[in-house]
Structure 1
């Protein structure tokens, strides 16, 4: 479903990366010029204003880091709690603009009765609701029975006018409630309201037309029917259950013929003979074949229509006896109406029935959880019978399980890419904290807009995680650049680095927020699926940007202070300091002679200039004698590496040979190479490398 969006995003990012490395530098060199004046634009003024307001807030945040981090952790805990109470659904319900509902009559209703009932329903809807443009009913199946349906169920499709022409209702929910109340006066009919595409979509995915199906599996049809009715009574009172249907698997009236075997033996008749007579009389029996060209048709004979309409026609059916006399069938068998199975449904070869419900006013997940609680408390099943939940809830569970696999993989890949960019595990963890902070905004945004979690929102979280870490990467990279430039004061580095990165951070966040804003507020067709995704991204970017500007500098300050403490105790740096002191022993002795003639303070300032630790280590590496000796030895060994290759000696030679019959001399000139030592080159190279290292 979201594959086109993902592919579009991937190819757009690849194209942007290529353009940034090729087209943008070229165009910048051609068209960008140094401005002749220093007049600031409105954008520069706005950014400078933000920097002035941001700096004192950042300073206070750095001094109260523990309080701010505690508040962030508390908000994250509240967001997790809100997420658990949010509910969920597979995909948001689309507003198709039209309505559809099932008209379910009593089992065994004839086609004539179904037509009369649906016609009455159509007249009621058409007369009471001017919003209806067209209404049509479909009964039975087409010539190709890909969608089997009995004659006692009709699909009624209601095509509506544009919403600005509605008069009796202001919303689709209100219109649906009024329409349901209007058609409820038709006796003996149950209704299930849905939408045309949604009805087919549910049936194609899970085999049921309702939003949720509670499937009951077992062997005995009578037990399945009774338990399904009991389950329907329990479910009907759950809040959010709008329409409910218990699948009818029994109750179809059938004419049953039970033969009296004693009388059959008395009259000398056989059961197969009687079955053939009954079948030929009512269903038709083959009496011959008719040919029409190359086509062949069976000639079927049966009773007239008026003689096969009731049970009396079967009871009064005369049977020929071997003696030539006739006797009515009711003298040989007990003929009566008995309820029989209406249909037998199977899932994976297992018999099942189901209770289907449509949900309105609540999300699918919370309704199913309430149903599960009630069934666990009030519903008992015999051994060998079990329940399964299908429909939209089954799709939600399947998609949620898929997300539980995809999301950790995406998070791991993000972590690896950040680590490759920074080559620092602590800094990677700092940037990774943007993900829980972004989650806070995404969850609260869904909660404020009263949206349950859906697969659309889940995809939005995946998009958000990738975008949220980008600002953190920009911030940490800027702070590391200042550190390499020699800004050693930690507080100054943080303040200066964050002020430098305000512009790119704000641009990144604002462009993404403004890009998703039309999706978040859209009300066009299909916007129901887009809104949760855009809402999650916008809310998450707001909180992740605050993390980047305030919480991330706090963590950076803590990590850098800890690393500085480790540097002070590092034995390598202690050794380097001792070497520096040794190197300056001789210059300090000479300085003592001069110090007797000058003021002590001036001599100390000239003889011992202040240097930082990194400069001292650099000077020690350049001037310490043993290090210089080691460098010379390395150079000598590199020169000696060439001696490992012994290609021998080269010789030039000539020769002559007379050509037959005294026609001249054939002169040869050649080059030869002798004493080549190829096999020992590897061993000699290894030896030289070992000596070198």
Structure 2
């Protein structure tokens, strides 16, 4: 009956664990906001500066929690953090939380600020925390929590599938501030030569190219000397004659006969959209679709997105999708935990064997591990906390303390046996009664020590809370089960050996 109950609880705990969701590290409020601000691709510097200025005015006017707003657009003279002129970083420096009046939490304040900034058309704002944003950017090349990369050869095809993926991302619960990397949209003047007409005038394309290059880019016509220094003397059209498309079309080309004809006589000159940028990873062209996750764990968000992508997007041969950002870090951390946790458990069992000289007694003590895991998983579920690296470390610490309590009880049972006690029931009762206080003290010290971390609401509590929750919940259940289930297992094992 006892064994069936334990197995049933453990099965329920495993089922709940699969539904907990997961994230690499819980979002850690850093006291300020970093807002990734972007205007339309191809916009000039004045447009970006104006967007940041207007956004700053809205934030400072409507939110008294804000101490100041600092904006950075483009790249500095030393481009350690290169950005295009249509991208800006807006740092919102907040006052201490006790002085807040518009909101009580960072999530609530972020939502209200995002709603207020919707008054600016054509500008996108992505709220994150400064260190977290830089960490994401260093790890995956993008600033969002989840980064989906599409690899392929043709830029237009990449842009088409990225737009489709962006629409799917917006339909995923928990996604926010979806960003689709722009690789097109840069206006370019394209000169399409009419080779038949060029041949009729006796011209060749290289001569026309040289004229166009000299008129707009400039061409060296000599050298200028100043002492020991020398400079190229570059000649080109005056500024007022190279301002618009018509200036290019009316550029005069001299024919071999000495006549001058406008460029649009031998070519079609138009403004078309060209590549804005070409990004590569491992020498392969790619495009990024990024999204932040709010109100939901990253693992379940990405799982839903992956399911929708498999159902609705069919990539052509040679194109494929990868998922990165915090999700990639989570997967890498889980792979490491899959090695670290079994290794730690194996070392614990090895030490138990050396301590007691018995594989069976080691396995009996080992039964405290699933008992403690049940409590840790239930505690996470009750507090609605997703599994993370912090929680994984908590489980490792929990297993060590749970095994220690099992060792205390088993050592006392063996001591009573060596003293000549033969009644199994009496040995179990006396040993449990003798070691009740040490076991309770061990569990209480660890639980009470982690209690401030579990109940903390200050800065950094998001990282501490999963670890403390796992340890406290696991020890409460493990301590209770140690005196019921573990002693029952020991009694059944000893009774079976005495019968044999």
TM-score computed with the length of structure 2 as normaliser: 0.95
> 1:371 is matched with which residue: 305, 327, 338?
305
Distance 1:363 1:297 in 2: 61
Confirm or deny that 1:425 pairs with 2:425.
no
Confirm or deny that 1:381 pairs with 2:315.
yes
Q: Deviations over 1:485-527 (max 9, x none)?
A: 1111111111111111112212211121122222222333322
> 2:424 is matched with which residue: 490, 509, 534?
490
SS at match of 2:27: coil
Partner of 1:135: 69
Partner of 2:350: 416
Distance 1:110 1:230 in 2: 28
> 2:395 is matched with which residue: 461, 465, 479?
461
Distance 2:237 2:382 in 1: 71
TM-superposed deviation, 1:140: 1.4
Distance 1:477 1:287 in 2: 96
Distance 1:297 1:91 in 2: 57
TM-superposed deviation, 1:146: 4.1
Q: 1:300 to 1:438 in 2, by over 3 A?
A: farther
| Bigger radius of gyration among the two | 1
Q: 1:561 to 1:296 in 2, by over 3 A?
A: farther
Q: 1:360 to 1:330 in 2, by over 3 A?
A: same
> 1:444 is matched with which residue: 378, 389, 409?
378
Q: 1:434 to 1:187 in 2, by over 3 A?
A: same
Distance 1:279 1:305 in 2: 15
TM-superposed deviation, 1:415: 0.6
Partner of 2:178: 244
Partner of 2:92: 158
Q: How much is the aligned-residue C-alpha RMSD, in angstroms?
A: 1.9
Partner of 1:651: none
Partner of 2:295: 361
Q: Deviations over 1:226-272 (max 9, x none)?
A: 11111221221111011101111112211101122233333333323
Distance 1:534 1:469 in 2: 18
Confirm or deny that 1:149 pairs with 2:99.
no
Q: 1:292 to 1:160 in 2, by over 3 A?
A: farther
> 1:474 is matched with which residue: 408, 433, 439?
408
Retained in 1: the 8 A contact 2:39–2:47? no
Partner of 2:475: 541
SS at match of 1:487: coil
TM-superposed deviation, 1:194: 1.5
TM-superposed deviation, 1:97: 1.2
Distance 1:162 1:300 in 2: 58
> 1:82 is matched with which residue: 11, 16, 28?
16
SS at match of 1:109: coil
Partner of 2:205: 271
SS at match of 1:156: strand
Partner of 1:347: 281
Q: Deviations over 1:195-227 (max 9, x none)?
A: 222111101011111111121111111111111
SS at match of 2:435: helix
Partner of 1:175: 109
Q: Deviations over 1:375-408 (max 9, x none)?
A: 2222222222211111111111111111111111
TM-superposed deviation, 1:532: 1.0
Distance 2:205 2:289 in 1: 41
Retained in 1: the 8 A contact 2:38–2:48? no
Distance 2:236 2:130 in 1: 42
Distance 1:296 1:481 in 2: 97
Q: 1:388 to 1:318 in 2, by over 3 A?
A: same
TM-superposed deviation, 1:274: 2.6
Q: Deviations over 1:559-595 (max 9, x none)?
A: 11111111xxxxxxxxxxxxxxxxxxxxxxxxxxxxx
SS at match of 1:419: helix
Partner of 2:266: 332
Partner of 1:500: 434
Q: Aligned pair count?
A: 500
Which stretch of structure 1 is more off in the superposition, 203-212 or 179-188?
179-188
Q: Deviations over 1:327-356 (max 9, x none)?
A: 322223211011111111112222111211
Distance 2:314 2:284 in 1: 20
SS at match of 1:219: coil
TM-superposed deviation, 1:537: 1.3
Q: Deviations over 1:85-124 (max 9, x none)?
A: 0000011011011112222222211222222222222222
SS at match of 1:336: strand
Q: Deviations over 1:431-473 (max 9, x none)?
A: 0011101101111111122110001111111121122101101
Structure 2 stretches lacking a partner, 5+ long: none
